[in-house]
Amino acid sequence: CLQQLYNIGGYVPQAPQKNGIGITGYLEQFANNADLKSFYLDQRPEAVNSTYKFISVKGGLNNQTLEDAGIEANLDTQFAFGLSYPTPGTFWSTPGNPPFKPDVNVPVDSNEPYADWVDYVLSHGKIPQTISTSYGDFEQTVPQSYARRTCAGFAQLGARGISLLFGSGDGGVGDGNPDPKTQTCFTNDGRNATRFPPFFPASCPYVTAVGGTTNVPEVAASLSGGGFSNYFPRPWYQEAAVGKWLKNFPEHTYKGLFNRNGRAFPDVAAQATRFRVFWAGQATPVDGTSASTPTFAAIVALLNDARLAKGKSTLGFLNPLLYTKGLEGFNDITQGNNPGCGTPGFNATKGWNP
């Protein structure tokens, strides 16, 4: 279905020995090999005997009991590796939690130690050219110094020719709740003000943030995270597309709820609903940008394969291309919206929109 929708079903990778795709794992999410085999038997039989490389970062585990199978890790590996087969796959397991600032929605630290992973990967020579991460946190729960340090590490990876894909979040413009009486989008700076909370690392300007669509023809999925960073200013490559959207968006609408000068996200979107994932031995339906992100990453890996087969470089940091020549390769999503924070969220319109 995804292969047909995105016109990749007939493509056979030509240079897998030169290419690679990676998946990051956090929060004790373990990619289960038995579930992966079940997925391959169901969806990609020719890949059933294939393997991937497991890498432990700072003592990350690789538990393989079915009861320890992680639905997030399974979703990521099954679709990224399945769609890009036989491109070699890598899975990193990184334990622990980073510095943290609690808010109403996340009172206990459940954030991911991205800097630990970045430091590890930057210290190693050979890195998969496409890396997908389905995790993310409300930007305000990440100390700004930690976010900036991590984002700078992502920039270094981009400079080394690595494409980094991150999910834009599953709460629309915030908490996914359109009811103003029960919404929970409050700042954690002592003011308790209502604001659309951006999502990090999607808000880092050196990664490609992936939103979600649904149905065919595609419309915006209501869960698709979108908004504007409070930490990072709008990068140069977004000036034309986002500037045009801001010009057409009434300034009084949602005034004070988002930072009109911030890095805007997502950058792209892909199917995010009704994914059939094998988890703990059972086929399980899953929705979210956790599904669209490895899907988009797999397509990037296939594009890299086509380039490598012709002796060209990989795509590397995608965003400057996506907002210029790359526009020709995309469908414009013009229907749907992403409610949250007691609002209907933003409407999908012609051109870029959050």
In the set 35, 38, 76, 170, the catalytic residue is 76
Nearest to 233 by CA among 151, 337, 175, 165: 151
Q: What is the pLDDT of residues 212-234, one digit of tens each?
A: 999 999 999 999 999 999 999 99
CA distance 263 to 256: 16
What is the CATH architecture of 2-329?
3-Layer(aba) Sandwich (3.40)
Average pLDDT of the segment spanning 109-137: 98
The residue length of the chain stands at 354
Question: To the nearest whole number, what is the mean pLDDT of the chain?
Answer: 98
Strand partners, 56: 93
Backbone φ and ψ of 223, nearest 5°:
-80, -15
CA distance 88 to 22: 9
Average pLDDT of the segment spanning 265-276: 99
290 is catalytic: yes
Q: What is the pLDDT of residues 139-152, one digit of tens each?
A: 999 999 999 999 99
Helix (H) or strand (E) holding 228: strand 227-233
Residue 150 has what pLDDT? 99
Which ranges in 100-237 belong to alpha helices (H)? 114-122, 144-159
Q: CA geometry: angle at 80 spanning 301 and 133, to 5°?
A: 90
Residue 15 has what pLDDT? 98
In the set 35, 72, 137, 139, the catalytic residue is 72
In the set 38, 93, 224, 290, the catalytic residue is 290
Q: Is the pLDDT of residue 295 over 90?
A: yes
Backbone φ and ψ of 296, nearest 5°:
-65, -40
116 is catalytic: no
Q: What is the pTM of this model?
A: 0.98
Average pLDDT of the segment spanning 113-138: 97
- Identify each DSSP E strand in 140-204 by its residue range: 163-167, 199-200
Q: What is the pLDDT of residues 183-215, one digit of tens each?
A: 999 999 999 999 999 999 999 999 999 999 999
- Tell me how far CA of residue 243 lies from CA of 58, 205, 233, in angstroms: 42, 16, 13
- Tell me how far CA of residue 289 lies from CA of 77, 133, 266, 302, 312, in angstroms: 14, 10, 10, 20, 30
CA distance 188 to 318: 33
Residue 41 has what pLDDT? 98
Q: CB-based burial of residue 252 (10 Å sphere; 0-12 exposed, 13-18 middle, 19+ buried)?
A: exposed
Backbone φ and ψ of 62, nearest 5°:
-135, 55
CA distance 175 to 249: 22
CA distance 176 to 341: 7
| In the chain, domain spans | 2-329
Evaluate whether 145 touches 307 at the Cβ level (below 8 Å). no
Residue 109 has what pLDDT? 98
Evaluate whether 99 touches 62 at the Cβ level (below 8 Å). no
76 is catalytic: yes
Q: What is the pLDDT of residues 5-58, one digit of tens each?
A: 999 998 999 999 999 999 999 999 999 999 999 999 999 999 999 999 999 999
Q: Is the pLDDT of residue 125 over 90?
A: no
Residue whose structure tokens are 């995270």: 225
b/e map of 276-291 (b: 16 or more CB within 10 Å)?
ebbbbeeeeebbbbbb
Residue 349 has what pLDDT? 96
Residue % of the chain over a pLDDT of 90: 99
